[in-house]
Amino acid sequence: MSQPAFNCLRCSQCCHGEGGISFEQGEISAAAALLGLSAREFVDRYCQPRQGLYFIKTNQDGDCALLGPKGCLIHQAKPRICRRWPFFDALLRDAGAFEEAKLYCPGLSPEASYEDFLRQYRAERGGEDQQP
């Protein structure tokens, strides 16, 4: 593999869109601490608790409330769902879903094959479980 199948360009395109990004319970305090807030203040300001998860609010333009002018405000403690992309179960199991994701995420190389993608996943993240 000469170049990686995925190399994040930090375009923040994946930080737009309504309501699908959530923290799990144990992830809140680290994110809050990065912003100098208590967990309660952080949840009140940025989250909508629902079904045991903390969904991040979006602003009127549909951007994640934690997206700042220079990117993610909590980059070092962003939720698992953000850290895992694009190595989601759905893409790892379905070559068609991987091809579709290329249209959405410019960090996925158009030339990369599904096998390249799986190879990178195994090399970089092979020990992780696969959800989401």
Q: Applying CB under 6 A, which residues contact ligand SF4?
A: 8-15, 21, 56, 64, 66-67, 72, 78-79, 82, 85, 105-107
What one-character DSSP code corresponds to residue 66? T
- Per the CB < 8 A criterion, the answer to whether 64 and 15 are in contact is yes
- Least distance in angstroms from the C-beta of 38 to ligand SF4: 19
The minimum distance between CB 94 and ligand SF4, in angstroms, equals: 18
Cβ pair 58, 46 in contact under 8 A: no
Tokens of 19: 């309501």
- Minimal distance in Å, beta carbon 91 to ligand SF4? 12
Q: Rounded to the nearest 5°, which phi and psi values hold at 113?
A: -90, 165
- Identify which of residues 12 and 48 has a Cβ nearer to ligand SF4 in the complex: 12
